[in-house]
């Protein structure tokens, strides 16, 4: 669909941002799968990340459809019937966003487990895995009940949705905290590994590109505050929240794919063989 960008209609910004970062995610997962399938079969972390991409596709479709029903325009210009549909679609997109974010993190935990499945790091990774699963379940449950039944998607007044701000804040903080942990784990993993400093730095750099995700999430939380506290213009206040959400989800999948490129980078640099690409993180540790 084509949307004209005007001072009073910013749906075009949402659509463009959504499509661009969906394309980035699809390119990332496609390269990852091509590399994987040319070398070996899909692993569990690949399958979970593929699910996350499918979830992002569904969520992006919801956001774009929501633009047709008022997202990006001032609420007083949106038809009452369209406004009801907007709230339903935006509600579904919120649940899909949590599922997408959690799936990406679970995929990374499984990847780290496949690299190092012993010692304290493995225990820390399992604990983080459990925290992410618990957050996904609790976050989706709370988001599904963000407003009073029988229409929990109809966020029209603060009286109807008294806990909505806390729910969005909880999900945002957990999103940031788990991403920071996922950046720290690879650093801990490489700390006692007996290998060259260059190799250590490359592995850490490939994983810690993800630090951009919590940085992107912070402005999203700032705009979310207005969305969940001011119900007089929901379709307009949702614009910046939606844009930053699409950026963070698309980049999250892309950065989750980057560690899979290490074997190819090594091969291009002539530092490893094809056999080594099959296990690019086969590292020997000097500690527990």
Q: What is the pLDDT of residues 192-213, one digit of tens each?
A: 767 777 777 887 888 888 999 9
Cis peptide bond N-terminal to 233, omega within 30 = no
Distance CA 253, CA 246 (A): 11
Q: What is the mean pLDDT of residues 175-182?
A: 95
Predicted pLDDT at 287: 43
Predicted pLDDT at 55: 98
Q: What is the mean pLDDT of residues 35-41?
A: 76
Distance CA 23, CA 16 (A): 11
Mean pLDDT value across the chain:
87
- Structure-block tokens of residue 80: 């009452």
How many Å from the N-terminal Cα to the C-terminal Cα in the chain?
A: 55
Q: What is the mean pLDDT of residues 161-183?
A: 95
Selection from 158, 2, 156, 164 nearest residue 67 by Cα: 2
How many other C-beta atoms can be found within 10 angstroms of the C-beta atom of residue 41? 7
Selection from 142, 134, 244 nearest residue 178 by Cα: 134
- Give 210-264 pLDDT, tens digit per residue: 999 999 999 999 999 999 998 999 999 999 999 999 999 999 999 999 887 665 5
Confidence of residue 178 (pLDDT cuts 50, 70, 90): very high
On whether the CB atoms of residues 62 and 93 are closer than 8 A, the answer is yes
- Structure-block tokens of residue 200: 């250590």
pTM of the predicted structure, to 2 decimals: 0.88
- Give 51-96 pLDDT, tens digit per residue: 999 999 999 999 999 999 999 999 999 999 999 999 999 999 999 9
Predicted pLDDT at 263: 54
Predicted pLDDT at 205: 83
**H helices of the chain, where?**
11-39, 44-68, 80-115, 119-144, 164-191, 197-208, 212-229, 234-257, 262-269, 274-277
3-state secondary structure of 283: coil
- Structure-block tokens of residue 155: 């966020």
CA-CA distances (angstroms) from residue 131 to 107, 135, 147? 14, 6, 25
On whether the CB atoms of residues 253 and 25 are closer than 8 A, the answer is yes
Q: Range with the lowest mean pLDDT among 9-18, 28-37, 254-263?
A: 254-263
On whether the CB atoms of residues 249 and 59 are closer than 8 A, the answer is yes
- Give 89-147 pLDDT, tens digit per residue: 999 999 999 999 999 999 999 988 888 788 888 999 999 999 999 999 999 999 999 99
- Is pLDDT of 286 > 80? no
Distance CA 276, CA 8 (A): 56
Predicted pLDDT at 8: 84
Q: For the chain, which domains are there? A: 11-146+161-277 (1.20.1070)
Strand partners for 193: 285
Name the residue with tokens 């527990």.
288
Selection from 127, 131, 134, 99 nearest residue 113 by Cα: 127
């Amino acid at each position: 669909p084509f949307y004209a960008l005007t001072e009073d209609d910013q749906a075009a910004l949402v659509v463009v941002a959504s499509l661009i970062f969906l394309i980035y995610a699809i390119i990332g997962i496609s390269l990852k799968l091509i590399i994987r399938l040319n070398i070996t079969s899909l692993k569990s972390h690949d399958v979970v990340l593929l699910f996350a991409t499918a979830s992002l596709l569904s969520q992006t479709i919801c956001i774009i459809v929501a633009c047709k029903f008022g997202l990006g325009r001032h609420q007083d210009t949106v038809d009452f019937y369209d406004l009801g549909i907007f709230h339903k679609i935006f509600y579904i997109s919120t649940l899909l966003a949590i599922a997408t974010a959690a799936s990406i993190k679970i995929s990374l935990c499984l990847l780290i487990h496949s690299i190092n499945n012993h010692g304290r790091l493995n225990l820390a990774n399992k604990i983080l895995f459990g925290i992410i699963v618990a957050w996904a379940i609790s976050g989706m449950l709370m988001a599904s009940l963000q407003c009073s039944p029988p229409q929990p998607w109809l966020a029209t007044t603060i009286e109807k949705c008294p806990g909505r701000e806390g729910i969005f804040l909880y999900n945002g903080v957990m999103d940031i905290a788990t991403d920071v942990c996922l950046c720290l784990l690879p650093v801990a993993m490489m700390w006692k590994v007996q290998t060259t400093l260059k190799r250590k730095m490359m592995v850490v750099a490939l994983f810690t590109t993800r630090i951009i995700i919590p940085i992107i999430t912070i402005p999203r939380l700032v705009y979310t505050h207005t969305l969940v506290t001011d119900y007089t213009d929901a379709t307009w206040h949702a614009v910046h929240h939606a844009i930053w959400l699409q950026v963070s989800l698309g980049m999250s999948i892309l950065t989750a794919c980057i560690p899979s490129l290490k074997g190819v980078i090594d091969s291009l640099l002539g530092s490893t063989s094809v056999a080594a690409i099959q296990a690019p993180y086969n590292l020997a540790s000097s500690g527990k």
